[in-house]
């Protein structure tokens, strides 16, 4: 099941639990605006190349629309639409005054030079600049993009509208970015894990973890979980998967990776088949890579007791049903990885006020928001006798419809 179908299915289930009128339910699934643009740029070798860019603005009932820009070869309208929907529910669950949006360009960023990426970003911004804005739609980094991408977007947007630091978040600190933003999603995953384990009388310290994906989210989650005493026994990324039952030395692994080493070449662990990673025996599985990695084929073999969805839509609905029957507790993406959008909101507020926070304040406020959202999700679960995913979707739906 693709991401759009899965997201729509989850919301329809939540809408039935809330007793929403069918017309209202349908209206909440229809995006506010869908944008498709052709971005043609000169390549370094003198040739021309064209890339397709998308921006889906899903809902602005609660405030400006908010969502990342991803650069990935598999970016398509259905995926962007689904992720824009998820952002609507995610911002509502996190209680930040935004609606949902998402964007992306179908490209392989690793195959483009820095100058080609800059030209592509600037052309994309030229095509959508009149549809985004500080109080309209605020982009942020996502897969394949980073603070530098946001700096290019901000600069290009400012050519048309004047200096507008709050038009994007996830910027470099010198351009108005927030301290703590780079680690925010991974830190939010850690806070979410603490909240869930605490409900079951457990803690990060002493629990065993498997993490799939070592991008921004997975890397920070691994480092912060390690700092809290969690034992990470297996990890995987696009270069391979490794395990060490005694616990992987995360600081040493990060140094190895930062020095250009592949995961499979790290000497502090043994290489395993990547297909084994998601079904490895552990207390907590944290998928932080692409969507749809847990499906009806591998869900029966999952041995983790808890799953923390650091990625967007890592669990298909069919897998959800199988995992529920097995008694596996799944903490859904629209809560678990909301740390990034929460700190993006903090950055936006700082830009508008012209008053910057220190990192301690950012992290403390993030912990408060994550803790509060978890308690509200649990209250919905108790009220509607549902699982955490439906608790999160119904909470988001409640905020969207009744607030």
The model's pLDDT over 232-266, given as tens digits with 9 standing for 90+, comes to 999 999 889 999 999 999 999 999 999 989 898 99
Look up residue 313 and give its DSSP letter: S
Q: If you average pLDDT over every residue of the chain, what do you get?
A: 95
> Binding site annotation covers 264?
no
Residues 109-118: tens digit of each pLDDT: 999 999 999 9
- Taking residues 281-310, what's their average pLDDT? 95
Looking at residue 290, its pLDDT comes to: 83
Q: What is the largest CA-CA distance in the chain?
A: 62
**Domains along the chain with CATH numbers:** 33-165 (3.40.50.10860), 183-335 (3.40.50.720)
Residues 52-72: tens digit of each pLDDT: 999 999 999 999 999 999 999
> Binding site annotation covers 344?
yes
> Binding site annotation covers 216?
yes
- Taking residues 200-215, what's their average pLDDT? 96
Phi, psi angle pair for 139, to nearest 5° = -70, 170
pTM of the predicted model as reported, rounded to 2 decimal places: 0.93
What whole-number distance in Å separates Cα of residue 396 and Cα of residue 160? 35
> Binding site annotation covers 305?
no
- Taking residues 208-224, what's their average pLDDT? 96
Catalytic residues, by residue number, are 102
The per-type count for the chain, helices as H runs and strands as E runs, is 14, 12
Percentage above 70 pLDDT, the chain = 99
Residues 78-105: tens digit of each pLDDT: 889 988 998 999 999 999 999 999 999 9
368 vs 6 pLDDT, higher one: 368
> Binding site annotation covers 134?
no
Query: Residues near 388 by Cβ (< 8 Å), separated by ≥ 6?
Result: 329, 330, 331, 332, 335, 377, 381
Looking at residue 280, its pLDDT comes to: 97
Report strand pairing: 240-243 vs 231-237: antiparallel
What whole-number distance in Å separates Cα of residue 132 and Cα of residue 117? 20
Instruction: Taking each helix axis as running N to C, give the angle between helix 359-384 and helix 184-199, from 0 to 180 degrees, rounded to the nearest 10.
Output: 40
Q: What confidence tier does 403 reach under pLDDT thresholds 50, 70, 90?
A: low
- Taking residues 354-366, what's their average pLDDT? 97
- Residue 204 contacts residue 281 (beta carbons within 8 Å): no
- In this structure, the number of other CB atoms found within 10 A of the CB of residue 159 comes to 11
Looking at residue 377, its pLDDT comes to: 97
- Taking residues 326-338, what's their average pLDDT? 96
CA dihedral 368, 369, 375, 381 (to 10 degrees): -170
């Amino acid at each position: 099941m693709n991401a759009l179908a899965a997201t729509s299915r989850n919301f329809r289930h939540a809408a039935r639990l809330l007793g929403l009128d069918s017309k209202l339910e349908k209206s909440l699934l229809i995006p506010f605006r869908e944008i498709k643009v052709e971005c043609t740029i000169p390549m370094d070798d003198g040739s021309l190349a064209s890339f397709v860019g998308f921006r889906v603005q899903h809902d602005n009932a609660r405030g400006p629309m908010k969502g990342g820009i991803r650069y990935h070869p598999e970016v398509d309208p259905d995926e962007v639409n689904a992720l824009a929907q998820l952002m609507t529910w995610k911002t509502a669950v996190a209680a930040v005054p935004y609606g949902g949006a998402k964007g992306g360009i179908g490209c392989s960023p690793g195959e483009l030079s820095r100058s080609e990426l800059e030209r592509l970003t600037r052309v994309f911004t030229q095509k959508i600049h009149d549809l985004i804005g500080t109080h309209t739609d605020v982009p942020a980094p996502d897969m394949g993009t980073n603070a530098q991408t946001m700096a290019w977007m901000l600069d290009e947007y400012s050519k048309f509208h004047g200096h507008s630091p709050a038009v994007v978040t996830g910027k470099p600190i010198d351009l108005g970015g927030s301290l703590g933003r780079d680690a925010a999603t991974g830190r939010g995953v850690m806070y979410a894990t603490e909240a869930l384990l605490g409900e079951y009388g457990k803690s990060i310290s002493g629990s065993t973890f498997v993490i799939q994906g070592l991008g921004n989210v997975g890397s920070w989650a691994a480092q912060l979980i390690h700092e809290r005493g969690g034992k990470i026994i297996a990890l995987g990324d696009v270069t391979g998967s490794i395990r060490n039952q005694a616990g992987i030395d995360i600081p040493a692994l990060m140094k190895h990776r930062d020095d250009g080493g592949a995961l499979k070449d790290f000497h502090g662990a043994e290489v395993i088949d990547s297909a084994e990673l998601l079904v490895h025996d552990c207390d907590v599985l944290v998928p932080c890579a692409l969507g749809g990695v847990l499906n009806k084929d591998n869900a029966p073999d999952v041995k983790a007791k808890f799953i923390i969805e650091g990625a967007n839509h890592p669990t298909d609905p069919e897998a959800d049903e199988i995992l529920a029957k097995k008694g596996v507790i799944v903490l859904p993406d629209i809560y678990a990885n909301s740390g990034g959008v929460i700190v993006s909101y903090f950055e936006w507020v700082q830009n508008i006020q012209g008053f910057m926070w220190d990192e301690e304040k950012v992290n403390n406020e993030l912990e408060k928001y994550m803790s509060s959202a978890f308690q509200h999700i649990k209250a919905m679960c108790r009220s509607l006798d549902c699982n955490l995913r439906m608790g999160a979707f119904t909470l988001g739906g409640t905020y969207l419809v009744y607030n």
